[in-house]
Structure 1
Amino acid sequence: MNEPRRPAANEVYRLPPPLFDARCKACWFVLAVVALVVLSFWSLDLQWGRFVSAQALDRMGQFLLQLLAPSTEAAFLLRLVPAVFETLAMSVLGTLLAAVAGLVIAFPASRLPGAEASVWRGPARLLLNALRSIPELVWAALLLVSAGLGPLAGTLALALHTTGVLGRLFAEAIENAPPGPAFALRVRGVGEGRVLMWAVLPQVLPQLVSYTLYRWENNIRAAAVLGVVGAGGLGQMLAFHLGLFQMPETSSVLAAMLVLVLAVDAVSVLARERLMR
């Protein structure tokens, strides 16, 4: 058996630092965050007593009991199935449009490994920041003016917001690609376009696909909510029945949303596992 190593005579062992040190910047930062959280609770004037009162708990219990009895009428389910496929189509088409547009904008927004930055890098990154800084719901509300009610506004809203997200992720992946293959092609006098096509993209393609699948998972949830502002799909049915306090129908719509999200998550996980092989 190996004996434990004995410390040398000239070795110096330091004790672990204290939990709080006046010279520790991280400690002061944590204290500032804690103070900000405490002040936030104090400034919001949250009335926890009313929230946990007997009357409030009784109302929430009745509401939950009504939600646990979904509607199974054939006429309603026939209207629910097309809304499920409409929500799925919105998420798929919005994600595909965003992946293509994000990749196109990511090229000028990134610096190729071993190359100088493009003059369009700043404007392209500014465009990506502007697209993703506006939430999908706001995009949908703005597009309803021009595209009208229905899934078109929701699809375009998903595409615009997701373009900003995927474009930034794609640009970071391109910039972080190993520079070896690109350098080898440049030494032989290959142009930047062919370097990007044959040296950079093959290395980052699995990562780009993984990012796209992850955003598809997010978009299926967002597409189910966009209908609240009239952008079609399950969200529009949810807003209609919830506004009329039709709890059985609302429960069925929520169940359809849950099943759809779980199915998309399972497909995305299986696709990423195949890519990692």
Structure 2
Amino acid sequence: MNPWPPAPPSLLDPRGKALWFLLALAALVVASFWSLDLQWRQFLSLDAARSMGRFLGEFFPPDTSPAFLRRVAQGTWETLAMSALGTGLAAAAGLALALPASRRPGGGASWARGPTRLLLNALRSIPELVWAALLLISAGLGPFAGTLALAFHTAGVLGRLFAEAIENAPPGPAAALRVQGVGGVRVFCYATLPQVLPQLLSYTLYRWENNIRAAAVLGVVGAGGLGQMLAFHMGLFHMGKTATVLGAMLLMVALVDAASHGARRWMTR
């Protein structure tokens, strides 16, 4: 038996690198608090609490007139349709871009892998609000611009996630089909895709949850849905109507989150 205690791990091994990363992250957080002009005393003051209380009190009672509730229901459906269609288009485009962005089954990288990944980075680097502002010029005001904005940004996100899932798929079934002389498209459809399909659907549902929130915000720039109603009534200080729109947003997001969570749990059984 060795009477000496084990030597401490090197700072260059994986555990040491993780420690350096955590220390650098902690230093960045401390530097952020030091460099930002955070008015904590003013934010936590009694006057700020009173002002916020008066502002929140203006939201009550919400507007529950039948005519306005019908408009809210129409805006809710528009927001839901924008998010669903945008996510569906993004999933199709993301899968099409994920194939050239992933490594070939044999382990080599396709010549299109680098350019396709740059395209995916560009798509997801531009926020949805910026996409919507750009597309309003060509598509005009309304839900069409918002739907395309969601599709462009989400395609970049899903394309990268899909490519990683395809690259990490077990290679055994695909190799067995290639030995039998099966072509690349059929290998992907019958070997790789069935293995990664639950993961792809889970990613798509999760992004749909995010796009529900994003679609509600996109209306602020004129992209339709509940967000456009929220910007209109809040700008005119119709606080009762604003409260009703906010309540519809919260209810819609909660229902979609619950349905998406249940679907993802059902798929992973």
**1:269 aligned to 2:261?**
yes
How far off is 1:66 after superposition? 2.2
- State the partner residue of 1:7: none
- State the partner residue of 1:167: 159
Per-residue CA deviations over 1:34-74 (Å, capped at 9, x if unaligned) read 33323322322222222222222111011122234321112
How far off is 1:218 after superposition? 0.6
Amino acid at match of 1:215: R
Please, which of 13, 17, 41 is the counterpart of residue 49 of structure 1? Answer: 41
Which whole-Å CA distance do the structure 1 matches of 2:261 and 2:2 have between them? Answer: 50
- State the partner residue of 2:140: 148
How far off is 1:113 after superposition? 2.8
Which whole-Å CA distance do the structure 2 matches of 1:77 and 1:51 have between them? Answer: 35
Please, which of 110, 113, 134 is the counterpart of residue 105 of structure 2? Answer: 113
The structure whose Rg is larger is 1
Per-residue CA deviations over 1:240-277 (Å, capped at 9, x if unaligned) read 11112221111111110011111111221222232223
- State the partner residue of 1:82: 74
Q: After the TM superposition, which residues 56-67 of structure 1 pair with which residues of structure 2 at under 5 Å, given as runs?
A: 56-67=48-59
Please, which of 173, 180, 187 is the counterpart of residue 179 of structure 2? Answer: 187
Q: After the TM superposition, which residues 1-277 of structure 1 pair with which residues of structure 2 at under 5 Å, given as runs?
A: 10=1, 14=5, 26-277=18-269
- Cα–Cα, structure 1 residues 149 and 15, in superposed 2: closer, same or farther, change >3 Å? same
- Cα–Cα, structure 1 residues 12 and 93, in superposed 2: closer, same or farther, change >3 Å? farther
Q: Which runs of 5 or more structure 2 residues have no equivalent in the other structure? A: none
Per-residue CA deviations over 1:149-186 (Å, capped at 9, x if unaligned) read 10001000000000000001111111000010111111
How far off is 1:197 after superposition? 1.3
How far off is 1:33 after superposition? 3.1
* Seq. identity, %: 69
Query: CA RMSD of the aligned region, Å?
Result: 2.1
Per-residue CA deviations over 1:107-137 (Å, capped at 9, x if unaligned) read 1111133343211111111111100000101
How far off is 1:187 after superposition? 1.2
Matched length: 265
Amino acid at match of 2:59: L
Which whole-Å CA distance do the structure 2 matches of 1:36 and 1:247 have between them? Answer: 40
Which whole-Å CA distance do the structure 1 matches of 2:209 and 2:4 have between them? Answer: 50
- Cα–Cα, structure 1 residues 118 and 25, in superposed 2: closer, same or farther, change >3 Å? closer
**Alignment partner of 1:67: what SS?**
coil
Which whole-Å CA distance do the structure 2 matches of 1:14 and 1:267 have between them? Answer: 54
Q: Is the CA contact (8 Å cut-off) linking 1:70 and 1:249 kept in structure 2?
A: yes
**Alignment partner of 2:58: what SS?**
helix
Which whole-Å CA distance do the structure 2 matches of 1:182 and 1:27 have between them? Answer: 39
Which whole-Å CA distance do the structure 2 matches of 1:119 and 1:173 have between them? Answer: 19
Amino acid at match of 1:154: G
Which whole-Å CA distance do the structure 2 matches of 1:166 and 1:12 have between them? Answer: 54
TM-score where L is the length of structure 2: 0.91
